[in-house]
Chains A and B, each alone.
Chain A
Amino acid sequence: MSDTKKFMYVNRKAPYGTIYAWEALEVVLIGAAFEQDVSLAFMDDGVYQLMKGQDTAGIGMKNFSPTYSALGDYEITKIYVEKESLEERGLTLDDLQHLVWEDEDEDWAEKDSIRLVSRAELADVFADQDVMFNF
């Protein structure tokens, strides 16, 4: 595989209620080994996946939310969060984890991974992709 393709993983489900969110994360991390141009999008109930302060001790399930902060180490630096979905749910960016990546070309400067976009802007991003994965 010499050609790099643009892979978009679309996350639209809340964590824990179904297995989609966790499975998506597994697929993203496996896919990262193939050195494609990867983006993640969080829209609809998917924005809940990035909520900070998740504590699953009381429900007996694994808290996989810390894994999102490792995405930068897998060179996944484009994480789109849809603005309308956040607003509809009474949330702001402050309610989400602060995700960063380190830019090798700028002396490992920390940069934000999350890009807050409108639904229309996200549609443009989708249109520019080669492959879509939906969870």
Chain B
Amino acid sequence: MAMLHLVNKSPYDACNLDSASSMMKGDDALLLIEDAVYAAVKNGKAAAGLAGLKVTVLGPDLAARGIGEDKLIDGVTVVDYAGFVDMVEANDKVQSWL
């Protein structure tokens, strides 16, 4: 029963991402949206917290914040809104860490 974990808060301003990552299991997926996309920036302190996780970030939120895909840590997948919907569909449940 895979779960999609949605995080939308900056990892430097709130502990939402830590809570999410600490409770992810097996095939669970993590989608970073809005201010949470900052977590996937290379050389940032928060990037270490994503190690070993299946991480996807929302492209339009990256672009809005001026973060090029070349600035992301390796192994991250970038999706658009249609990809967001596909992920919701592909998982059994969605947990939004508001």
Instruction: Tally A-B pairs: CB < 8 A.
Output: 77
Taking A45-B10, A88-B12 as known contacts, 13 extra A-B pairs with beta carbons closer than 8 A to each other, sorted by chain A number, are A14-B10, A15-B65, A16-B35, A16-B64, A17-B9, A17-B35, A44-B12, A45-B13, A54-B65, A55-B64, A58-B64, A90-B43, A95-B66
Chain A residue at minimal CB-CB distance from B68 = A53
Which residues in A have their C-beta under 8 angstroms from that of B80? 58
- Pick from B38, B63, B68: contact of A48, CB below 8 A: B38
Docked complex Cα distance between A124 and B64 (Å): 33
Q: Is the CB of A58 within 8 A of B59?
A: yes
Find out whether the CB atom of A89 lies under 8 angstroms from the CB atom of B12: yes
Q: Please encode chain B, from 59 to 83, with 1 for each CB lying within 8 Å of some chain A CB and 0 for all others.
A: 1110111111001000000001000
B residues within 8 Å of A by Cβ?
A: 8-10, 12-13, 34-35, 38, 41-47, 59-61, 63-68, 71, 80
> Which of A17, A51, A95 meets B34, CB within 8 Å?
A17
Which of A2-10, A29-37, A59-67 binds B?
A: A59-67
Given contact pairs A89-B12, A90-B44, A14 touches B65 in the complex (Cβ within 8 A): yes
Please count how many residues in chain A sit with their CB below 8 Å of the partner chain's CB atoms.
25
Which residues from chain A sit less than 8 Å from chain B, CB to CB? 13-17, 44-45, 48, 51-59, 61, 63, 65, 88-91, 95
